[in-house]
């Protein structure tokens, strides 16, 4: 069984020489047929020559056993040429050379021997084979006429050399009947060829229709798959929204409600309320920021986010944002220092840069303990400005750093003073930085603080920015 499988494997490889996807089904079958004939013919001829050589009697010569022994090399060479031309995709040339050489070879052998059935029968077989191998009349007619001419020459030669037996062939009436036979053969084979063409065209048309329908089904399947993925994302977005609304926003609002209920029921004096005012303001600011992040994130998820970049003074914007956090920072004894030089310009969307800075500064203040420091710096290269916000906060492990910007993971963690968050801030930072053509990353070590950096496109008017 193994040997048979190996033989079949080699046979498939040889008969598929030159087969390519550009060939039609019919052309592939014809090419395989000619490859198979070349292999069988070449192998058979080679074995015949070797057998004759090794069984040669001592006193005999090869030409005495077979006068045309050395001519067999022509056949072997022709079969090799056919396979080579197929491998180079010269299909028509391979057919023409193969058939013409075989016609001339057997014509010469038959004419030289003068014996019947050594050449003329091959002409009839080749005449039939021409209609199988070719589709165009410009090849069929010349080769068919060559077969007819060689057939006639061989018959006349046989009649002249064997006049006692085949002398009647020289009669003119026999030529008329032979001519009529070949004319009939030509039209009969043409008829079957056209029938085959029509049948093949019908099959290929049906295959084309099936192929188009398969493509339509595949396209619809891809659309359905894309819609399923989109629906899944929308469901995830919905689940995240409900989770945030139900947990992260509920707690601070519940705290505010409790304080206001106490005030409303006049169970708290003015002095007591004043002592809670800073905490109340902090909670309101924090809740407002969470709501704003939530709305921005929901908008980006549902509608996408369009950037409108302009020239933005980065230092001025950072100073504005720093003022917002002064009270929170002062309450925790945190020092915020902006090291960026004046007139540092970036090319980005103003609102999105504000949100990026606000979220990164919020996190820095949130996770930096009392007495800590926050430093803001920038470096410049040919195309981008890299902004870094470094704190001396609690830091985090490498595993957590790797999850910070994963869109499928929302991390919500309380600050050093119990500050709430939604976990959406860094997701918005990443999305808005990407929208403006930049990148964002984080460096952190647990207990030693964190450093968040992002890049924005440099404005052409920038001067010296390096700090």
- At 199-208, the pLDDT tens digits run 777 887 888 8
Q: What is the mean pLDDT of residues 271-283?
A: 63
Residue 299's pLDDT band (cuts 50, 70, 90): low
Q: What is the mean pLDDT of residues 278-295?
A: 64
Q: What is the pLDDT of residue 165?
A: 65
Q: What is the mean pLDDT of residues 241-270?
A: 61
Residue 293's pLDDT band (cuts 50, 70, 90): low
Q: Return the H-helix or E-strand segment holding 450.
A: strand 450-457
Q: What is the pLDDT of residue 264?
A: 65
Residue 440's pLDDT band (cuts 50, 70, 90): very high
Residue 227 counted as domain residue = no
Residue 422's pLDDT band (cuts 50, 70, 90): very low
CB 111 within 8 A of CB 157: yes
The C-alpha atoms of residue 434 and residue 427 are separated, in whole angstroms, by: 11
Residue 339 counted as domain residue = yes
Q: What is the pLDDT of residue 282?
A: 61
Instruction: Give 22-35 pLDDT, tens digit per residue.
Output: 888 778 888 998 99
Kindly report the CATH number assigned to the domain that includes residue 410.
3.30.565.10
Q: What is the pLDDT of residue 417?
A: 57
% of the chain surpassing 90 pLDDT: 19
Structure tokens at 98: 């193969």
Residue 169 counted as domain residue = no
SS3 for 442?
strand
Residue ranges in 162-266 assigned as alpha helix (H):
163-166, 172-243, 250-264
Q: What is the pLDDT of residue 467?
A: 37
Residue 435's pLDDT band (cuts 50, 70, 90): confident
Q: What angle do CA 37, 38, 41 make, to 5 degrees?
A: 80
Closest CA to 364 of 318, 395, 407: 395
Between residues 38 and 321, the one the model is more confident about: 38
Say if residue 91's pLDDT is above 80. Answer: yes
Closest CA to 16 of 7, 5, 6, 28: 28
Average pLDDT taken over every residue of the chain: 80
The C-alpha atoms of residue 435 and residue 410 are separated, in whole angstroms, by: 20
Distances (CA, A) of 192 to 151, 188, 199: 23, 6, 10
Q: What is the pLDDT of residue 60?
A: 85
Say if residue 326's pLDDT is above 90. Answer: no
Closest CA to 256 of 278, 235, 228, 284: 284
CB 138 within 8 A of CB 121: no
Q: What is the largest CA-CA distance in the chain?
A: 146
Q: What is the pLDDT of residue 80?
A: 93
Say if residue 343's pLDDT is above 70. Answer: yes
Instruction: Give 147-178 pLDDT, tens digit per residue.
Output: 988 988 888 888 777 766 665 555 655 666 67
Q: What is the pLDDT of residue 439?
A: 93
Q: What is the pLDDT of residue 465?
A: 40
The C-alpha atoms of residue 11 and residue 4 are separated, in whole angstroms, by: 10
Q: What is the pLDDT of residue 83?
A: 93
Residues 6+ apart with CB under 8 A from 321: 354, 357, 358, 361
Say if residue 332's pLDDT is above 90. Answer: no
Q: What is the pLDDT of residue 389?
A: 93
Closest CA to 417 of 342, 335, 334, 332: 332
Say if residue 287's pLDDT is above 80. Answer: no
Q: What is the mean pLDDT of residues 71-83?
A: 93
Q: What is the mean pLDDT of residues 261-274?
A: 64
Q: What is the pLDDT of residue 464?
A: 42
Residue 63 counted as domain residue = no
CA dihedral 199, 200, 204, 210 (to 10 degrees): 50
Number of domains in the chain: 1
Residue 255's pLDDT band (cuts 50, 70, 90): low
Q: What is the pLDDT of residue 377?
A: 92
In this structure, what are the phi and psi dihedrals at residue 202, rounded to the nearest 5 degrees? -65, -40
Q: What is the mean pLDDT of residues 104-115?
A: 87
Q: What is the mean pLDDT of residues 188-216?
A: 82
The C-alpha atoms of residue 208 and residue 430 are separated, in whole angstroms, by: 48
Q: Give the pTM.
A: 0.46
Residues 6+ apart with CB under 8 A from 344: 313, 314, 315, 378, 385, 462, 465
Residue 464 counted as domain residue = no
Residue 153 counted as domain residue = no
CB 161 within 8 A of CB 154: no
Between residues 64 and 286, the one the model is more confident about: 64
Of 265-274, 299-308, 437-446, which has the strongest mean pLDDT?
437-446
Structure tokens at 139: 């090849």
The DSSP bridge partners found for residue 380 are 385
Residue 405 counted as domain residue = yes
Residue 12 counted as domain residue = no
Give the domain extent around 370: 312-457
């Amino acid at each position: 069984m193994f040997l048979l499988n190996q033989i079949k494997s080699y046979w498939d490889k040889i008969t598929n020489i030159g087969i390519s996807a550009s060939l039609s089904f019919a052309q592939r079958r014809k090419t395989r047929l000619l490859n198979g004939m070349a292999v069988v013919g070449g192998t058979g001829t080679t074995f015949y020559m070797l057998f004759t050589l090794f069984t040669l009697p001592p006193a005999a010569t090869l030409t005495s056993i077979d006068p045309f022994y050395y001519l067999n090399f022509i056949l072997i060479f022709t079969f090799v040429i056919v396979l080579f031309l197929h491998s180079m995709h010269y299909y028509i040339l391979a057919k023409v050379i193969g058939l013409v050489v075989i016609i001339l070879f057997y014509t010469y052998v038959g004419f030289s021997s003068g014996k019947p059935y050594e050449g003329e029968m091959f002409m009839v077989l080749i005449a039939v084979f021409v209609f199988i191998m070719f589709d165009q009349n410009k090849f069929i007619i010349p080769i068919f006429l060559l077969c007819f001419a060689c057939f006639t020459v061989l018959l006349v030669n046989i009649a002249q050399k064997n006049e006692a037996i085949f002398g009647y062939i020289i009669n003119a009436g026999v030529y008329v009947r032979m001519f009529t036979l070949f004319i009939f053969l030509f039209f009969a084979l043409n008829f079957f060829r056209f029938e085959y063409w029509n049948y093949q065209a019908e099959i290929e048309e049906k295959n084309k229709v099936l192929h188009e329908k398969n493509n339509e089904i595949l396209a619809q399947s891809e659309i359905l798959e894309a819609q399923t993925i989109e629906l899944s994302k929308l469901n995830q977005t919905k689940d995240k929204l409900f989770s945030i609304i139900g947990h992260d926003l509920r707690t601070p609002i519940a705290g505010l409600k409790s304080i206001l209920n106490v005030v409303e029921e006049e169970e708290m004096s003015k002095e007591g309320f004043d002592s809670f005012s800073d905490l109340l303001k902090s909670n309101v600011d924090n809740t407002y920021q969470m709501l704003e992040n939530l709305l921005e994130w929901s908008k980006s998820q549902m509608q996408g986010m369009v950037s409108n970049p302009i020239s933005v003074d980065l230092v001025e914007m950072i100073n504005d944002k720093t003022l917002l956090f002064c009270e929170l920072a002062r309450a925790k004894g945190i020092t915020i220092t902006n090291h960026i030089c004046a007139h540092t310009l970036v090319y980005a969307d103003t609102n999105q840069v504000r949100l990026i800075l606000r979220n990164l500064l919020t996190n820095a203040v949130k996770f930096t303990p009392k007495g800590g420091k926050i430093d803001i710096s920038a470096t410049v290269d040919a195309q981008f400005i890299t902004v870094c916000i470094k704190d001396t906060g609690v830091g985090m492990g490498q595993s957590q750093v790797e999850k910070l910007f994963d869109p499928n993971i929302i991390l919500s963690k309380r600050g050093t003073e119990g500050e709430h968050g939604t976990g959406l801030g860094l997701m918005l930072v990443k999305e808005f930085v990407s929208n403006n053509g930049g990148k964002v990353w984080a460096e952190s070590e647990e207990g030693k603080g964190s450093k968040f950096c992002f890049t924005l496109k440099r404005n052409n008017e920038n001067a010296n920015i390096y700090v």
